[in-house]
Amino acid sequence: MSEHELVSLTIEGVDVSVPKGTLLIEAAKQAGVVVPHYCYHPGLPVAGVCRMCLVEVEKTPKLQIACATPVAPGMVVRVMSPPALEARKGVLEFLLINHPLDCPICDQAGECELQDYVFQEGRARTRYGSFAKRFNPVEDFGGDVLYVPNRCILCTRCVRFMDHVADDSILNVSERGDRALIGIHGDRALDHPWAGNVVDLCPVGSLISKDFLHKARAWELDRTASVCTGCSQGCNVTLDTRQSAVVRARPRPNPDVNRYFMCDYGRGQYRWMNGGDRIEAPLLAERDGLVATDWDHALARAAQLIKGAAGRTVVLASARASTEALFLARRLAGGSSVTGAFRVEYVPGEAPLSGVPNLALRSERAPNATGARVLGYTEAFDAAVRTASEAGLVLVLDEPLHGVPANTLAGAGMVIYLGTVLPEAARVARVVLPIANVAEEDGTFVNRDRRAQRYFQAKATPGMARPAWWVLGELLAELGRGGPFATAAEAFDLLSREDPSFAGLSYATLGTQGVGLPAARPPVVVPA
């Protein structure tokens, strides 16, 4: 039998066929059955130490651990049989003997796999009298990680991650028997660029994040699929929000991009999404400076400026802008005399995750630089700024002006600014249009591997701010060049119709995992 052949077996009465070599714990998912487990994780080497995934296999004298047992033809597996349930109850009872009742104060409460499985199939009450705490309450492992040894169930996920995925053997299982705990190298701190993943991997509340400590309870959070803005890798993430504030970013599985992990730099990228210095209303330049107005007046003034602009048009964009916004900005500028440039930060060196090919914190610190390039923007931002100082119309999109001298655009004819905050260089704008940030809108980014990926709105926009695709769509409608758009999906549909690199794509085809664009941009065929 070749490795590509399928093996047929029965799990909980459901017939499934899976590739040869598949582990029972993964095959069970095809039957709609989740086998309880602690030490197993699909992104880590198998350890088989927790014994929580015991299942009954017909014609096998003993229960088997599903995490280390490969499928075999004709195998009949019972996950919920009385012997399997009784064995897992025993494992849970043993774990609870050594686990404190910290649920009311534990950050993991509501997300704890020990809680879940005890509720699902544990004993109604313990047969053990009392619990004696054996270790120091909390140890600081360094970086963003705290360790609570009394809660530890010794699944060793953290040790295996640092050993085999991060390739930095800093953690270990120290001592033996009832004194065993996770130890850290005495001269080291857990400050590896990817060390925060041990918090996600921990199935209980033993490894916790200093940054998230006591911020929220799990049941208070709303969870939204998004894409990390830290670099061009485009790691898939989940944004956790509470009361319209993003409080945590966690990795979201995507086998083609980041598998199950994200770097610590990316975890901190949620903070800027909660900035309080936001533009909350459209602004018009009057004698007394920038004055707040409503959207109808702001859009009408902006359309009037675009119609009356003469000479070269320059679009200055950020590589944090969505693909939809970048496309619509160029469409709004129109004509052949348009200069489009984007700004992106580069830092020396990268921080790869050794155990995962093609996964690293990239030196290009922006999520959509590739998308800007695909859409015809250049990286000659400084040259574009010099051109902009003498241009007839300058359209600025999504804050590329931070750090640019205040009077840089003073000589430009008409400046229209779309952004979330107002830097000094943007105060010469005739019209300021407040837009949403990545956590407040739907949109797409294109990562360094030319993979178009969706992100979803996680929280409300402040004040009168609107998504950039909506603002640009309204301006296009004012000028009779397309739009308006009721949803980001409509804006993306126009992009897919007009740009060959996105041909045939839609939000439905992108899904939550994204789709790769062609390796090279197809040539545009001009009729003779």
Residue 524: predicted pLDDT: 38
pLDDT tens per residue across span 349-363:
999 999 999 999 999
Strands 245-251 and 431-434: unpaired
Q: Based on C-alpha coordinates, what's the Rg of the chain?
A: 27
Residue ranges of the chain with per-residue pLDDT less than 70:
1-3, 131-133, 335-337, 520-528
Residue 52: predicted pLDDT: 97
Residue 1: predicted pLDDT: 45
78 Cβ contact list (under 8 Å, min separation 6) = 12, 55, 56, 57, 58, 84
Residue 408: predicted pLDDT: 87
Region(s) of the chain under CATH 3.40.50.740: 296-516
Residue 288: predicted pLDDT: 84
Region(s) of the chain under CATH 3.10.20.740: 6-94
Query: Check: CATH 3.10.20.740 for 6-94?
Result: yes
Q: In Å, how far are 348, 352, 514 from 235, measured between CA atoms?
A: 20, 13, 11
CA–CA separation, 176 and 134 (whole Å): 13
Q: In Å, how far are 146, 152, 154, 174, 523 from 181, measured between CA atoms?
A: 14, 7, 7, 5, 60
CA–CA separation, 52 and 28 (whole Å): 15
Contact between 91 and 99 (Cβ < 8 Å): no
In CATH, which of 3.30.70.270, 1.10.357.10, 3.40.50.300, 3.40.50.740 is domain 296-516?
Answer: 3.40.50.740
283: left (phi over 0), alpha (psi -120 to 50) or beta: beta
Residue 522: predicted pLDDT: 42
